[in-house]
Amino acid sequence: MAKKQKRLAQVATATAEAKASARYQDPFQQTVNARLEQVEKKVSGKGRTILYAIAALVVVAILFFIINSYNRRSEGAAQAALGKAIETSQSRVSDTPPLAGSKDQVFKTEKERAEKAIAEFQAVADKFGGSVADTAKYFVATNKLSVDRAAGIAELEGIAGGSSASAGLAKFALAQTLHADGRLDDAAKLFGELAADSDSTLPKDTINLE
């Protein structure tokens, strides 16, 4: 009898503890638990597809950020390389060496300077694409005029006949070159085409002066 009463007391105590623990779940906990149960049910059904779609969008956003960052760095490197080559093409030509500690490049002849500039511009054109490469090719052609005039003229003609952003510049440089060589009729024809081109980025006053 005593053992039976002891077992009943233990059962009653366990029941009381269970009820007590159930009472400690406040309304906020009940709401959270209910929401979690709803999310769990949705995830097991259509909600899983939604989560996959969200995850895919996150991945796309991350990839876009990485690609965009790379493009900005690549464009910056291309512009820097092009700028360095332009500095070389505009360096001083003189028999006098640069002052001690100076980082300025000095060349003894225009041909020597042009050869160095051509190598740098060609490296930019080979490494980078887009408008930077087109601009570099234009500078290769103009610098070749001091090394191999016929080759420079041929390259300018090729660029001028294309549709790149440098086409107008190449036609203008070609017209100036032909004018300097005494081919006045050919030069006048090119200047006329540039003046009549409404899409040309060259100032009309500059073209008309030529």
Any idea which of 62-76, 129-143, 188-202 has the lowest mean pLDDT?
62-76
On average, the pLDDT of the chain sits at 75
154, 188 contact by CB (below 8 A): no
* 115-119 average pLDDT score: 97
Dihedral over Cα of 26, 32, 36, 38: its sign = positive
For 82-104, how does the pLDDT look when each residue is reduced to its tens digit (9 = 90+)?
A: 999 999 999 999 988 888 878 88
> Which tops the pLDDT comparison, 163 or 24?
163
- Provide the pLDDT for residue 129: 86
Q: Is the pLDDT of residue 107 over 50?
A: yes
What three-state secondary structure class fits 97? Answer: coil
User: What dihedral angle (degrees, nearest 10) is formed by the CA atoms of 17, 20, 24, 29?
Assistant: 70
Architecture of domain 73-94+105-209: Alpha Horseshoe (1.25)
Q: Is the pLDDT of residue 23 over 90?
A: no
- Provide the pLDDT for residue 62: 52
For 3-12, how does the pLDDT look when each residue is reduced to its tens digit (9 = 90+)?
A: 444 454 444 4
- Sequence-ordered alpha helix ranges (H) in the chain: 2-23, 27-43, 46-89, 110-127, 130-144, 149-160, 167-180, 184-196, 204-209
